[in-house]
């Protein structure tokens, strides 16, 4: 499904001040070709427990898929950094939560900041397979003829659920995605924040190697991996969402 028909405001930046825990801020980072809609229920849950929450719309997303062919990868972590700096003005501690490419973006930003903790859901750290790497290498040439490719979207096990993202994979946008992931992987050892990672055992978008690389290479002294047994890739909107939300709450309570 495309972005057309999304609930009002769900494709835009979202910020809500907390109550009893307003000095703890949480930034939620959506995935590549996705939208803030994939993170809104999670953010709403955390805000209902008194935390300050922010769900930024990453550049090139939530509009039309062609816009993702016009961005540079640095714009994604820069947008998240803006929210960290914003929350830092009123919050004593800041957490990052990322889905898919949003997980890779979270790790990139975490390597440069002193965060209270991070939470990753089916995070992305590399594009696996020789065919995919060959396609990326020749993407600028391919883009002359095809600006968009077939996409695996709305990988959700629960029926009638959408993340309100693009149903096309922007060719040049994938090149920038690959550059983000390469830069981030080289900095994984610099990630020190306590890390909670959720991995769907049945994920049709990313191979498990993404999770394995992250767990092996991040520098965090505390890192925990949880298996999700009843969700596909967009697990924040899927059957295991309550488990993600509740365990995230415990993680944030522990480290704040």
Catalytic site includes residue 248: no
Q: Catalytic one among 154, 155, 203, 238?
A: 203
Angstrom distance (rounded) from CA 252 to CA 256: 6
Assess whether 13 carries a catalytic annotation: no
User: Is 199 noted as a catalytic residue in this protein?
Assistant: no
* Start-to-end CA span in the chain (Å): 38
- As a whole number of angstroms, the distance between CA 168 and CA 66 comes to 9
Distance between CA atoms of residues 178 and 184, nearest Å? 10
Contacts for 61 with CB less than 8 Å, ≥ 6 apart: 30, 33, 34, 35, 36, 67, 68, 165, 166
Question: Scanning the structure block, which residue is given the tokens 């049945």?
Answer: 202
Q: Which of 139, 133, 101 is nearest to 120 (CA)?
A: 101
Q: Which of 30, 61, 126, 233 is catalytic?
A: 233
Annotated active-site residue in 35, 54, 100, 248: 100
**In this structure, what are the phi and psi dihedrals at residue 12, rounded to the nearest 5 degrees?**
-105, 170
Pairwise CA distance, residues 20 & 189, whole Å: 34
Q: Give me the active site residues, please.
A: 100, 203, 233
């Amino acid at each position: 499904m495309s972005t057309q028909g999304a609930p009002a405001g769900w494709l835009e930046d979202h910020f809500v001040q907390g109550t009893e825990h307003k000095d703890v801020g949480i930034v939620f980072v959506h995935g590549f070709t996705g939208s803030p809609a994939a993170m809104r229920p999670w953010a709403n849950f955390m805000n209902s427990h008194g935390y300050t929450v922010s769900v930024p719309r990453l550049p090139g997303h939530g509009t039309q898929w062609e816009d993702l062919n016009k961005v540079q990868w640095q714009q994604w972590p820069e947008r998240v950094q803006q929210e960290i700096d914003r929350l830092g003005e009123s919050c004593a501690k800041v957490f990052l939560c990322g889905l898919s490419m949003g997980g890779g973006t979270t790790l990139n930003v975490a390597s440069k900041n002193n965060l209270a903790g991070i939470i990753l859901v089916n995070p992305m750290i590399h594009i696996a397979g020789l065919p995919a790497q060959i396609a990326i290498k020749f993407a600028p040439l391919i883009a002359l003829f095809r600006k968009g490719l077939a996409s695996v979207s709305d990988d959700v096990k629960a029926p009638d659920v959408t993340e309100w993202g693009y149903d096309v994979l922007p060719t040049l946008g994938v090149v920038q995605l690959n550059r983000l992931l390469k830069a981030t992987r080289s900095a994984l050892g610099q990630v020190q924040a306590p890390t909670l990672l959720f991995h769907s055992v049945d994920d049709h978008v990313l191979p498990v190697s993404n999770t394995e690389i992250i767990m092996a290479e991040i520098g965090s002294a505390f890192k925990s991996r949880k298996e999700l047994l009843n969700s596909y890739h967009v697990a924040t909107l899927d059957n295991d969402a309550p488990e993600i939300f509740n365990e995230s709450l415990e993680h944030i309570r522990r480290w704040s």
